[in-house]
Structure formats: structure tokens, C-alpha cells
């Protein structure tokens, strides 16, 4: 069977060479006589896998030594609660920028445990832009400020990191991790569910500055306390072994490709092929202001719901799957994460041109 071009927002495509390597090693990984799924997480066969994944992540993302890297479960959604539970001090104050559904969900958890405040929001225009932010808008007394770096549903991203002064900035990077350079030192903490750009679902990556650890709220469950995991090398309990293994293979693939700089260049080329087409099309239109466009998620519409539905149906029949937009935006969305080849984007554009001709 031919593989499709999968434009899903997540879980999404994995690089073909990674899947092939995993397939080749499925029954017998590294001469262990077993698959990674069957190994003890404390065995000498698994140790190099988790240690290799961490050191490669540190290398490709240039993570400074004073940051811990954790491989957790629970998805980015668990981080919405873990962040306030661990980062609130006595003050229990935090600033949230509301740029979409995920940012809103994070904010709701911040409010459950303390005084979370909305700094700015782009809800007035269906989250089609990133609000203009400056340092004076942030509370200098807050325990942390939270942003969602790439808004998966709406297709916006921050192109500059807001200046919050000495207040630690927390970034949800679920849908842009490994897609472009990030200056980790500008953040107190970063987190990401792995299923968009790193691995299968089940793994959550946390990168946290050491000085932010150690004052979790009393009510924090043991499993939700970062220190539980920093003190045990992400092995307090059984970690998501197979996703960590795939994460390592993805990082090896990325490194071979030239690292994040090379990946970012490819991602810009891919995304702007599509944006240039949208800007010149008479039928299709992007929904995001041009300066805040995501490199990973590209929503677009025809302006006619019937035509949108026809497009999604016909594209699917040709092997371009999961192009239907999120129900809150409508239309279409092409998620073009690291593993989507440029050829997939080119083929989609060719189909869009043909569809436009045929449906004038």
C-alpha cells in the first residue's frame, strides 16, 4: 500500500527513515534479542536509549547545563496543571497570554491554583494574530508568565520572544519543538507533547531551569512534582520507553539532516511555498495575519463551506489526508511538521491549482 501525505495536526507523520529503522529493529533491538517495548526500563539495553535521547536533545536544542530535561507522560495537558503547582511561590501569581484553545486551557489550570491573570488575548479576531506585547504589560511580581509559542489550531506563532524581565517565561512548544531555533536561555521552562514533531503520543518533554525546582505546592501529587522526576532521571516509575526510543531515532535523523538550523530552513521553504500560493490564489485564502504565520500549521479557506467540503473529500481520495480544519476555524488546515517532505507540500499545491481551475 502506498503511504499517504498526512497533514494531521497531531499525532502526525514521522520521518520514513525512522519508521524503517524501528521496523528493522522491532524484533531484536541492538542484539538484545527483544523489542524496546519488552525491555526493562532499568536494563543495560534501555539505559543507552534514554541517555542517548537526552544528550541528543541537549545537543540539537543547545540546552544550557543549568536546565534539567525530563521525559514524562500525561501530555502537554498535564503540564497545564504541573506548571502552576510547581512554579507558584507563596504569591501564587502568574500572567497568561491567550492566543488560542491550548493557551486558554493552560490559563484555566493556572486559575485553579492561584491568581492567574490574562495579560492579552487575540480572541477578538478568532486568534488570527499574536497580540503586541511589551514588558510593561507583565507583572514584575508574578511567579511566571506563560505563552503558547505556536498555536496549532489557529496557525499563529511568536516570531519574537516577549520580554518579561526577571519573571520566568514558560513556553508550550508542543507544535513547534525541533522545527526552528529556540533560545532556551530566554525561558524558565519549556514543555511539549511529543506527538507532533518528536515521537508517538505518550511522551512529554519538559526542559526546566534548576532554580525553579523545589517549592511545589503541598497538594501536588508525587507524580506531578518535577523534583520526583529530576531526582530519578525520569525513572521514578516506568517511563514511556518506546516513544523515548523513537524520540532518539528522530533526533538522530534530525542531526544527520544538519540539525535544527537546516530543518528550520527547510520548514521556511515548505511553509512559504504554501503561503505564496495562498496569497496569489483567487479561491484559497490564509486566515492568519502575515507577520504571525506558523511554519507548522497552515489554515486556509475558500470562503464557501460546500467548496471546502468538496476540497477535503477530493484531496482525501488522492492521498492527502486530514486536511479538514479545526471546527472552531472551519475550512482546511495543512499541518506540515518536520517529517512532511517538501514533495508533499508541492503535490498539495499542484492539487489546489487543479481544484481551483476545475471549480471556477
Ligand X SMILES: *Cc1c(COP(=O)(O)O)cnc(C)c1O
As annotated, the active-site residues are 102, 172, 196
Q: Which is nearer to ligand X, 77 or 126 (CB)?
A: 77
User: What is the smallest separation between the CB atom of 127 and ligand X, expressed in angstroms?
Assistant: 12
Q: Is 76 in the site for ligand X (CB under 6 A)?
A: yes
Binder among 5, 6, 7, 10 for ligand X (CB under 6 A): 10
Residues numbered 168-207 forming contacts with ligand X, rule: CB under 6 A: 172, 174-175, 193
- Determine the Cα–Cα distance for residues 29 and 25; give it in Å rounded to an integer: 5
- Identify the helix (H) or strand (E) that includes residue 299: strand 297-301
The window from 52-60, 123-131, 167-175, 250-258 that contacts ligand X (CB under 6 A) reads 167-175
Query: Measuring CA to CA, how many Å separate 174 from each of 129, 155, 276?
Result: 18, 13, 26
Nearest to 197 by CA among 276, 129, 260, 239: 260
Are the C-beta atoms of 95 and 167 separated by less than 8 Å? yes
User: What is the smallest separation between the CB atom of 176 and ligand X, expressed in angstroms?
Assistant: 8
Q: Which is nearer to ligand X, 39 or 83 (CB)?
A: 83
Are the C-beta atoms of 134 and 111 separated by less than 8 Å? no
Query: Measuring CA to CA, how many Å separate 246 from each of 14, 42, 114, 197?
Result: 9, 18, 37, 11
Binder among 99, 152, 164, 234 for ligand X (CB under 6 A): 152
Binder among 77, 115, 121, 281 for ligand X (CB under 6 A): 77
Spatial CB neighbours of 35, under 8 Å, sequence gap ≥ 6: 25, 26, 27, 28, 29
Interface with ligand X (CB under 6 A), residue total: 11
Are the C-beta atoms of 173 and 182 separated by less than 8 Å? yes
User: What is the smallest separation between the CB atom of 105 and ligand X, expressed in angstroms?
Assistant: 7
Cell numbers for 294:
506558523
- Determine the Cα–Cα distance for residues 226 and 35; give it in Å rounded to an integer: 29
User: What is the smallest separation between the CB atom of 73 and ligand X, expressed in angstroms?
Assistant: 10
User: What is the smallest separation between the CB atom of 296 and ligand X, expressed in angstroms?
Assistant: 9
- Strands 297-301 and 332-335, how do they pair? antiparallel
Q: Which is nearer to ligand X, 15 or 202 (CB)?
A: 202
- Determine the Cα–Cα distance for residues 143 and 290; give it in Å rounded to an integer: 33
The window from 73-81, 155-163, 242-250, 327-335 that contacts ligand X (CB under 6 A) reads 73-81
Residue span 24-63 as binding mask against ligand X, x where in contact by CB under 6 A, dash where not: ----------------------------------------
Q: Which is nearer to ligand X, 29 or 295 (CB)?
A: 295
Query: Residue with C-alpha cell 484531496?
Result: 315
Q: Is 102 in the site for ligand X (CB under 6 A)?
A: yes
- Determine the Cα–Cα distance for residues 188 and 184; give it in Å rounded to an integer: 8
User: What is the smallest separation between the CB atom of 45 and ligand X, expressed in angstroms?
Assistant: 27
User: What is the smallest separation between the CB atom of 134 and ligand X, expressed in angstroms?
Assistant: 23
- Determine the Cα–Cα distance for residues 175 and 99; give it in Å rounded to an integer: 14
The window from 12-20, 71-79, 250-258, 306-314 that contacts ligand X (CB under 6 A) reads 71-79
Residue count of the chain: 360
Q: Is 155 in the site for ligand X (CB under 6 A)?
A: no
Binding site for ligand X (CB under 6 A): 10, 75-77, 102, 148, 152, 172, 174-175, 193
Amino acid at each position: 500500500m502506498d503511504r499517504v501525505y498526512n497533514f494531521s495536526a497531531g499525532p502526525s507523520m514521522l520521518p520514513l527513515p525512522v519508521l524503517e529503522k524501528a521496523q528493522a529493529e522491532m524484533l531484536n533491538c541492538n542484539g538484545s534479542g527483544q523489542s524496546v517495548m519488552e525491555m526493562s526500563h532499568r536494563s543495560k539495553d534501555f539505559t543507552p536509549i534514554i541517555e542517548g535521547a537526552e544528550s541528543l536533545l541537549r545537543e540539537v536544542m543547545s540546552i544550557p547545563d543549568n536546565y534539567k530535561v525530563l521525559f514524562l507522560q500525561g501530555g502537554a495537558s498535564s503540564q497545564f496543571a504541573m506548571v502552576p503547582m510547581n512554579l507558584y511561590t507563596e504569591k501564587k501569581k502568574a500572567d497568561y497570554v491567550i492566543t488560542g484553545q491550548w493557551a486558554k486551557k493552560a490559563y484555566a489550570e493556572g486559575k485553579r491554583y492561584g491568581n492567574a491573570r490574562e495579560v492579552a488575548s487575540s480572541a477578538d479576531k478568532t486568534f488570527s494574530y499574536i497580540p503586541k506585547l511589551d514588558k510593561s504589560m507583565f507583572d514584575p511580581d508574578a511567579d511566571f508568565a506563560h505563552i503558547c509559542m505556536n498555536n496549532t489550531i489557529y496557525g499563529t506563532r511568536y516570531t519574537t520572544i516577549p520580554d518579561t524581565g526577571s519573571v520566568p517565561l514558560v513556553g508550550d512548544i508542543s507544535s513547534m519543538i525541533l522545527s526552528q531555533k529556540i533560545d532556551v536561555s530566554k525561558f524558565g521552562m519549556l514543555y511539549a507533547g511529543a506527538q507532533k514533531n518528536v515521537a508517538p503520543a505518550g511522551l512529554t518533554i519538559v526542559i526546566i531551569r534548576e532554580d525553579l525546582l523545589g517549592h511545589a505546592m503541598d497538594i501536588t501529587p508525587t507524580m506531578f512534582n518535577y523534583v520526583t522526576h529530576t531526582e530519578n532521571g525520569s525513572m521514578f516509575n516506568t517511563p514511556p520507553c518506546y516513544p523515548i526510543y523513537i524520540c532518539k531515532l528522530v533526533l538522530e535523523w534530525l542531526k544527520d539532516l544538519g540539525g535544527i538550523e537546516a530543518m528550520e530552513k527547510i520548514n521556511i521553504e515548505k511553509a512559504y511555498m504554501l503561503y505564496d500560493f495562498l496569497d496569489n490564489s483567487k479561491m484559497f485564502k490564509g486566515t492568519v495575519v502575515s507577520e504571525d504565520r506558523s511554519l507548522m500549521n497552515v489554515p486556509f479557506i475558500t470562503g464557501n463551506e460546500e467548496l471546502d467540503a468538496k476540497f477535503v473529500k477530493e484531496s482525501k481520495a488522492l492521498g492527502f489526508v486530514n486536511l479538514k480544519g479545526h471546527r472552531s476555524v472551519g475550512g482546511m488546515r495543512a499541518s506540515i511538521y518536520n517529517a512532511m517532505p517538501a514533495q508533499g507540500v508541492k503535490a498539495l499545491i499542484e492539487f489546489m491549482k487543479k481544484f481551483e481551475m476545475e471549480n471556477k
